[in-house]
Structure 1
Amino acid sequence: MKKTFHDEPPVQKTSVGYGLAIHLVRSAVSRFHRMEDAEGSDLIPGTSVPMIMVSNHQNGLMDPLISCTLAANHQIHWLTRADIFKKPLIRKLLFSFNQMPIFRQRDRLSDAKERNKRIFEICIDRLSIGSTIGLFPEGNHQAMKTLRPLKRGVADMVALSLRRNPEMDNLVLLPIGIDYEQADAMQRRLRYRVGTPILFKDLFDSESEEFDQKSLLDRIYSALDNLMVNLQPEERYPILIDFVRAMRTTELAHSEWKDVQRLTRRFRSLEASDWMGIEEAHQQLIASGILDAARPEDLSLDEHSSRSSKWFTWLLAPLAFIGGLPSFPLAYIIQQQSQKRVKEVAFMSTFKMSTSMFLFPFYWWVQSFAVALIVGAFSDGWSWTAMFGWYTFNLVGSRIAGFWYGLYLDWKGMVQARKIWNDPTSKQIWSNYVHAIRSVISE
């Protein structure tokens, strides 16, 4: 017999709260990030198919918001740390967004294990009516381009699904790789990679109900490894990440992406002697201050492929200035507050985007109300046309300004990279670093 709790989430596939909020989320995500591509999005099944989405986790709340945005037709159900569900009003609000609590040791509840078991049962009930569950098998986030050992939660959920309903043949386990150019900054590039569904039914013995969880975790790890930048060994991360960033993985697709993966995987088999030259070259790079003057993504691995910019960047600038000017004061305040309040880089973009998502519409309506009053004072009274016209102007103008800001960042990166490449000493130091790595991983 199932043990239930008075404060447990309901069994539901969709909710009104999620349906309303997703429009704000999609707008905010598309404004904050520069989406390069959503590769393999055609592999996402229809909304009637039960699905578990598994993804890498590098960027706080932004990771689930991006998946919610790009899996546009699905309402994704997430497991969230239980401590934020304590207050009844907050709990109801989170339930309306398809959130479910997951309890940890730090919650110090004597029945935490039973509660988590019940939450998993509710997940299975939701899957049985065609819901989509989103999971991060690493367990928590880390602002590094690596894939850590996976927790067994996803394997437990799949096993429980099959034990409760061996006929759930249409359950899809879908791997997702999220690749950020610079996760904490606005209008930096983002690439979303969807892989082929992970097979698991052969790991389940319907007679004994035994399930090979380790093999499933191995398959999930392998699938995610193919879809994301997984820089290993992790202890060498500081001396390798600048080289990998210079490869511009968010701008690579298909064969180019596979080529880069083949190269970076050779790091995993390097001998101790291979690291000496890389460490020395990286120390010289840090001491030179080059990385303070230009980003690796803009420098690239060689001079001929360094960052370029669009020819129309500065032609568009006046329009972007006019369109973005009314929004600038609030944007400036949010930027300043993020620097002041957010200590962990993995939550920087979460803070910026979530505050913008709610404050900007309110801010624009206040402006629109004021404009309507002013126009009305010089006409026959209140002007609905002025109010909605000003709001629309802000809606479109801020979008143009954001698009231009991305172009500006490319132009700025191009200028900074050229300064490095045009300086003989800096050029040599950067080239030495690139060569030190290429020489030990080249075929």
Structure 2
Amino acid sequence: MIKKIWYESIKLFLKISLEFYAKKITVVGKENIPKKEAVLFAINHPNALMDPLFVTSNSPRENHFLVRADVFSKPLVKKVLASLNLMPIYRIRDGRKQLSNNEEVFEKCFNILKNEETLMIFPQGGHCRDRTIQPLSKGFTRIVFGALESNPNLEITVIPVGVTYQNSSQYPSKVCVKFGDLINSREIFNTNEKAKAINILKNNVSNQLKKLTVHIPNDENYTATLSKLNAANVDFTNVDAVNKMIAENNFPNPVKKHPNYLKPLFYLILLNSLFPYFIWKKMSKNIGEIEFIDTMKYAVNVISFPIFYSLQALVINFFFGWEIALIYFVVSFLLVLVYTKFSVTNTES
């Protein structure tokens, strides 16, 4: 019960805090998620830990996650992540000796599905900001079919999920989360020999992901196609419309980026948030992968902003009383929210 309260409290906090990160969060297909049976969500992975945050905060189920093992390197972080149902998955780059640890992780996954809970997985095997669905690894099929093989009466629904960002490098951004059609993995498992079943499930998930997020074929035209879409300043979160442009090779004319008339408000917020800003600038120098920029920015801001505003409110309370301090505290967050919701969200230059 305590763990459930902790999980739901963090989930609510994430849902609220993500509204300060994204100008608009569009969610499609959530109503199709089964309320009780075992579900495996197969998600594309363009933006590190932001992807599972957006999916789980908009899912009605309590979710378990597989994430890259190096995130668990610090003991305190490992304990916190484990309390939120995150589990490490080891890759070759983590060392071949570490790969044996995956057997224990897979057993945990089998039990999660056996208990008719949900599991979130990133079948591309790693994160990548390219607007294309990379070839899927077969690791997620091993988990699905392993659980089905061990439990003959178990039904597992696989749901592909597409997460699309207008511009991951820009604050604020727009985000679209699209839950796909339900895939009956038991039917695939029972009516095909194993190797064929693996390919059928992989292809089914891959084909859906290419429709659930913006997918530019990874060929010699990729860069030119992306440049045309960026030049036209399209709304990437309007996934169906953008994919239609790509399929028909028919793109809007280039346009100028929208000017940000709220820039003065941004500088006012910055002036009121110098301490969090300097923390972020210092930490950003140590980020080795571009996909982790948003994750670290979100993590730093979601912790430092409330602390800093609270400390400033205490100082104001000391000199001017609690009424002025409360007004300052509320207005500080409202200014951030106003900027987030009304600022422009252009494509990449």
1:50 aligns with 38
For residue 226 of structure 2, give the secondary structure of its aligned residue in structure 1.
helix
Q: Classify the secondary structure of the residue corresponding to 1:241.
A: helix
- Equivalent position SS for 2:42: strand
CA distance in 1, matches of 2:217, 2:75: 43
Tell me the alpha carbon deviations over residues 166-224 of structure 1, each in whole angstroms, 9 at most, x when there is no partner: 2223x221111111111111112222222111232222238988871111111111111
Give, as a single letter, the amino acid of the residue that structure 1 aligns with 2:83. Answer: S
Distance 1:206 1:237 in 2: 37
* 35 and 235 in structure 1: CA distance in 2 versus 1, 3 angstrom threshold: same
Q: Deviations over 1:116-153 (max 9, x none)?
A: 12211211212233322111100001121011111111
Indicate how the Cα distance of structure 1 residues 338 and 43 shifts in structure 2: closer, same or farther if over 3 A, else same.
farther
Structure 1, unaligned stretches of length 5 or more?
1-11, 267-299, 377-382, 418-443
Question: Aligned AA for 1:82?
Answer: A
Looking at structure 2, the residues matched to 260 and 14 of structure 1 have their Cα atoms a distance apart, in angstroms, of: 46
Larger radius of gyration: 1
Q: Does 1:140 align with 2:126?
A: yes
User: 1:330/1:32 Cα in 2 relative to 1: closer, same or farther (>3 Å)?
Assistant: farther
Match of 2:287 in 1: 342
Match of 2:49 among 61, 64, 77: 61
Listed one character per residue, the Cα deviations across residues 313-351 of structure 1 (whole Å, up to 9, x for unaligned) are 96x888x57984664424643564465343432122112
Uncovered stretches (5+) of structure 2, i.e. residues with no partner: none
CA contact (8 A) 1:37 1:190 kept: yes
Question: Within 1, Cα distance between the matches of 2:2 and 2:87?
Answer: 13
From 250, 254, 262, the counterpart of 2:247 = 262
The amino acid that maps onto 2:203 is: D
Matches of residues 184-195 of structure 1 in structure 2 within 5 Å? 184-195=169-180
How far is 1:92 from its partner? Answer: 2.2
Query: In the alignment, is the contact (CA less than 8 A) between 1:80 and 1:102 conserved in 2?
Result: yes
Which amino acid is the alignment partner of residue 101 of structure 1? P
Q: Are the equivalent residues in 2 in contact too, given 1:50–1:172 (CA < 8 A)? A: yes
Native 8 Å contact 1:14 1:98 kept in 2: no
Q: Counterpart of 2:32 in structure 1: which amino acid?
A: L
Task: Say how many residue pairs are matched.
Answer: 347
Greater relative contact order (CA < 8 Å, ≥ 6 in sequence): 2
Residue of structure 1 equivalent to 2:207? 222
**2:44 counterpart letter in structure 1:** N
The ranges of structure 1 where at least 4 consecutive aligned residues each deviate by more than 4 angstroms after the TM superposition are 12-17, 206-211, 305-309, 320-323
1:177 pairs, out of 162, 167, 188, with: 162
Q: Decide whether aligned partners of structure 1 residues 69 and 76 sit closer, same or farther in structure 2, where only a CA change above 3 A counts.
A: same
- 2:252 is matched with which residue? 301
Measure, in 2, the Cα distance between the counterparts of 1:13 and 1:238: 50
Larger fraction in helix: 1
Q: How much is the aligned-residue C-alpha RMSD, in angstroms?
A: 3.3
Letter in 2 for 1:202: E
* 2:346 is equivalent to residue 395 of structure 1: no
Contact 1:179 1:192 in 2 (8 A): yes
TM norm structure 1: 0.69
Equivalent runs, 1:17-56 vs 2, <5 Å: 17-35=6-24, 37-46=26-35, 48-56=36-44
Say if 2:117 is the partner of 1:131.
Answer: yes
The structural deviation recorded for 1:247 is 6.5
Q: In the alignment, what sits opposite 2:65? A: 78
Residues 2-32 of structure 1, C-alpha deviations (whole Å, 9 max, x = no match): xxxxxxxxxx996554333323322332222
Q: After superposition, what is the alpha-carbon deviation per residue over 1:59-88, rounded to whole angstroms, capped at 9, x for unaligned?
A: 1121112112222x3332111233443554
Cα 1:250–1:36 shift into 2, 3 Å: farther
Instruction: Please give the residue correspondences for 1:231-270 in structure 2 after superposition, counting only pairs within 5 Å.
Output: 231-245=216-230, 246=232, 248-252=234-238, 256-257=241-242, 259-263=244-248
> SS of 1:178's equivalent?
strand
Asked whether the 8 Å contact 2:11–2:57 carries over to 1, the reply is yes
Q: Work out which of the residue numbers 266, 285, 297 in structure 2 matches 1:352.
A: 297
Q: Do 2:213 and 2:239's aligned partners in 1 also have CA atoms closer than 8 Å?
A: no
Matched AA of 1:22: K
TM-score, length-normalised on structure 2? 0.85
Indicate the percent of aligned positions where both proteins have the same amino acid: 22
| Cα distance in 2 for residues equivalent to 1:195 and 1:85 | 30
How far apart in 2 are the matches of 1:177 and 1:344? Answer: 21
1:217-270 deviation line (CA, Å, top 9, x unaligned): 11111111111122113443222211133362425265x356335325x9xxxx
Instruction: Indicate the larger mover: 53-62 or 225-234.
Output: 225-234
Do residues 367 (structure 1) and 312 (structure 2) align?
yes
Question: Contact 2:270–2:277 at 8 Å: present in 1 too?
Answer: no
Is the contact between residue 51 and residue 174 of structure 1 (CA under 8 Å) also seen in structure 2?
yes
